[in-house]
Amino acid sequence: MDISYPPETEAFRTEIKGFLAEALPTDWKGIGALDEEAAWAFARDWRRQLAERGYLSLTWPEQYGGRGLSKLHQVVLMEELALAGVPFGLPQDTFGVKMLANTLLRWGTEEQKSHFLPRILSGEDTWCQGYSEPDAGSDLASLTTRAVRDGDEWVIDGQKVWTSGAHHCDWIFVLARTNRDASKHRGISFLLVPLDQPGVEVRPFRMMSGQLHFNEVFFNGARTRADLVVGGVDNGWTVAQSLLGVERGEEAATNPILFRAEVERLVELARQYGKDQDPVIRQRIAWCWSKVEIMRYLGYRILTGWLKGAEPGPESSIAKLYWSEYHTKVTDLAMDIMGLHGQVPEGRPPLRTYRTDDPGAANSSASWSTTYLIARSGTIYAGTSQVQRNILAEKVLGLPREPRP
């Protein structure tokens, strides 16, 4: 397998490195080194700079404000941003720029693309994802939120949960059942719904890490225009599956970078607590290092399929199960190194609410103990570890299906 990059993307890498050298301070250590107020101010200005240079919309067609470059150029961009310790826009850009925009480019009507893409790029519209429900999380096809056609509008009733950042957003893309007589994977539509209306209630709730990130969203006669269905009525499951594959290649490239930086912080933490010569601690750190190396090569395999346009396969379940279970082990080790100090959080907790703390973050007890709590959620969101194991057992190994009630 050839894991080198072609000349045209290496030339683009040189462009990105030049931009970073020009735009970042000479003493830059990563956004994690800033205090919370300064980090948010930097992220907002950084998003503006990325948008102005066309980096937020790198692979979009030029007619929609993009640069028309390849997926591999996007991977190079994400690699260099991760290595420099800078974000790709603001947190909600994961849903607007990465997920919805690419979904609209594939499935949207010309009117939908012309209206929404410029507003997503400018940040005028911010988006969240309305997928999971109290009784339909990992089994998403069991959702019960329904949308009924009423003239030129859809009327929506139901509840979504674990909706990241909804309390900061203007719009939500929602999976709703539009045909109650169809089988559970059919009869679902992908709707674009404004949040600022009387029929929508957003309730934030506090996570065990102390952060406010997730929300419940209640629809009680909420309305959206009839033409704001993406991919056709009753075709929402197919659209949703394509959306889930959008981040696959980027994450395969950037996860190993972020997790490697975290292991390097872990080594410093062991030195800080005088445990870097403890043979058991050293062995556990070596185990973490080897797991990140395996993650890197697994990422190359996933990246190869993604670049060829392959639909998400079992390797996606392998990767999700792998990194999420690994992250519980590395954060366990950090807590063991800190001992009782880990029970008394001091310093700035992570700004992120998923995966690692930001590059450049201090080796504080607040950073590691909060990341330890966040790591547990990684085995639940985006498909629980149990669901991923079932997928691999049934789809790859051909084992009998788990008994259903």
Residue in the block written with tokens 């490239």: 253
Strand runs labelled E in 151-308: 153-160, 171-177, 188-194, 200-206, 212-225, 229-230
CA 352 to chain CA mean position, Å: 11
- How far is it, in rounded angstroms, from Cα 364 to Cα 44? 25
pLDDT value of residue 247: 59
In this predicted structure, the answer to whether residue 266 has a pLDDT above a threshold of 90 is: yes
Question: What pairing do the DSSP bridges indicate for beta strands 212-225 and 200-206?
Answer: antiparallel
Is the separation of the CB atoms in 244 and 259 below 8 Å?
no
Assess whether pLDDT exceeds 80 at residue 310. Answer: no
H or E, element range at 289: helix 279-307
The pLDDT-based confidence of 248 (bands split at 50, 70, 90) is low
Range 308-324 average pLDDT: 82
pLDDT digits (tens, 9 = 90+) for 179-223: 998 888 899 999 999 999 999 999 998 888 888 888 999 999 999
As a whole number of Å, the CA-based R_g of the chain is 22
pLDDT at position 281 over 70: yes
Tell me which of 80 and 252 has the higher pLDDT.
80
pLDDT band at 387 (very low <50, low <70, confident <90, very high): confident
pLDDT value of position 249: 64
Across all residues in the chain, what is the average pLDDT?
92
Q: Residue 153 burial (CB < 10 Å; 0-12/13-18/19+)? A: middle
Residue 137 has pLDDT above 80, yes or no: no
* Non-local CB neighbours of 208 within 8 Å, separated by 6+ positions: 373
pLDDT tens-digit series, residues 341-361: 999 999 989 988 888 999 999
Q: How confident is the model at residue 1 (pLDDT cuts 50, 70, 90)?
A: low
Residue 40: Cβ within 10 Å count? 14
Closest CA to 172 of 112, 207, 219: 219
Task: Give the residue numbers marked as catalytic.
Answer: 247
Tell me whether residue 274 is exposed, middle or buried, using C-beta atoms within 10 angstroms of its C-beta: 0 to 12, 13 to 18, 19 or more.
exposed
Average pLDDT of the segment spanning 51-69? 95
User: Residue 171: exposed, middle, or buried by beta-carbon count in 10 A (0-12, 13-18, 19+)?
Assistant: buried
Please give the model's pTM, rounded to 2 decimal places.
Answer: 0.90
Tokens coding 380 = 């639940």
φ, ψ dihedrals at 98, nearest 5°: -75, -55
SS3 content of the chain, % helix, strand, coil (to 5): 50, 15, 35
User: What's the confidence (pLDDT) of residue 312?
Assistant: 65
* Tokens (6 digits) for 10: 């290496």
